[in-house]
A and B are shown apart, each in its own frame.
Chain A
Amino acid sequence: MQNSRKQKLMIVLFILFGSAVTVGLVLYAFNQGLNVFFTPTEIVDGKASTGQNIRIGGMVKQGSLVKDGLKGAHIEFVTTDFNEEIPVAFTGVLPDLFREGQGVVADGYIDADGVFQATSILAKHDENYMSSEVKAALEAGAKKQTKAAVNL
């Protein structure tokens, strides 16, 4: 390669390297700030400040959702990351995908009792798409298996 071309190649590589290092350091400095939500574990570890508006993200714990008996559109449930758990209270409209065992991201604050008072609720769906027929068949299969296990 000609000398001038070699030089230009070095400049191009320098631009790529330089911008990668700069942005890498900026992202490293931001780190926590770039997460759109805190996990229950991070909240228990005190990484999020109480009383301040934050977002919490986790799974809606199976069997934790309480709707009936509460007033109007008020619901209560527990978010979990399978390590720590935070109770959540919310009054309002839920997204269609909200249900037990599904991901959830809630806006709000932690009150004095340690309950997350949500002002809005978003559903987080995972990367698994499944046809409704297959899902129904899988669930029927699982039921059969548990039945068989009970009979034993």
Chain B
Amino acid sequence: MWQWFYKLGSPKYFYDMTSGLLPWLYTITFFLLIVGVVWGLMFAPPDYQMGDNYRIIYIHVPAASLALGAYAMMAAMAAMHLIWKIKMADIVAKVIAPVGGMFCAVALFTGSFWGKPTWGTYWIWDARITSTLILLFIYMGVAALRNAYDSTSAGAKAAAVLTLVGVVNLPIIRYSVDWWNTLHQSASNLSLRAVGANPPEIWIPAFFMGFALLGLFLIAIILRARNEILVREKRTLWVQDLLQNEIEQSREPSHHA
């Protein structure tokens, strides 16, 4: 286990391993997306109050959970980079910022368009919504702060420190609906045996969508991390060999012609 962990810290190993992993990830994510979308939009029953409006949860809830989860992952990577100076951890932390921020924006936008027909307003400054908006600003701040430095290592350190400070926002978002009066609902209780409120036929498609969006998230950060690896390691022999091969392969058809 630890050996595998150390190996993942090597950019070359990460690059090689993800080359084999990506096709699997594409397939699984595609399958989950199809099941989640079709089940959620076509087979899940309409809600007794909101009718079909509530179906936006199938994108809203997974996007919001991922926005929080991605931040936790980015913070773990930032801490690992600060303490153990693991190169790969910084690369992953860097690529998460825009992707996590995107999920956060999706959660805010879908929530807003859901709010109008149900609550009667696109926006209200309640604790849940405001703290989520702050999360989006922190994501953008982390990405911007890193880019404000000319030196990669100085930018990495500054971004890591800001990321760690921002961690305090996560429990605030999570518990905002319990600590304060909000217009946003509190967390729904999910049970497999529920018959009345929140039955499995309503929330199981949301789980499929959650894993589908997790797949999309992993695909996005893996592709971005691979690009970042090639840029940062461009002077190493293995990257030069790799690029040489790519160039030769792309030229091959013209030889035959």
Contact = CB atoms under 8 A, between A and B. Distances in A.
Interface string B53-96: 01001000000000000000000000100111000000000000
B223 interface: no
Task: Name the residue in A122, A136, A138 with the highest tally of chain B Cβ atoms < 10 Å from its Cβ.
Answer: A122
Nearest to B165: A19
B127 A34 contact: yes
A132 B118 CA distance: 16
Contacts of A140: none
A96 B126 CA distance: 21
Interface in A110-147: 120-136, 138
A73 interface: no
Interface stretch (B24-32, B100-108, B183-191, B248-256): B183-191
B202 A12 contact: no
A121 B83 contact: no
Given A20-B168, A131-B46, A123 B119 contact: yes
State the main secondary structure of chain B at its contact with A.
Answer: loop
A19 B75 CA distance: 14
Given A122-B121, A122-B183, A124-B119, A12 B50 contact: no
A9 interface: yes
A5 interface: yes
Contact of A127 (B51, B124, B179, B189): B189
B192 to A, nearest CB: 15
Contact of B187 (A121, A122, A127): A127
A70 interface: no
A122 B198 CA distance: 23
Nearest to A96: B117
B119 A130 contact: no
B120 A37 contact: no
Nearest to B185: A127
B186 A127 contact: yes
Given A123-B118, A129-B198, A16 B48 contact: no
Contacts of B49: 97, 102, 125
Contacts of A37: 181, 183
Given A95-B120, A122-B119, A127-B189, A132 B180 contact: no
A38 B180 CA distance: 10
Nearest to B189: A127
A57 interface: yes
Contacts of B188: 127-129
Given A34-B180, A95-B118, A122-B119, A16 B167 contact: yes
Contact of A123 (B46, B120, B202): B120
Interface of B: 45-51, 54, 57, 79, 82-84, 117-121, 124-127, 161, 164-165, 167-169, 172, 179-183, 185-189, 195-199, 201-203
Interface of A: 5, 8-9, 11-12, 15-16, 19-20, 23, 27, 34-39, 57, 94-98, 102, 105, 120-136, 138
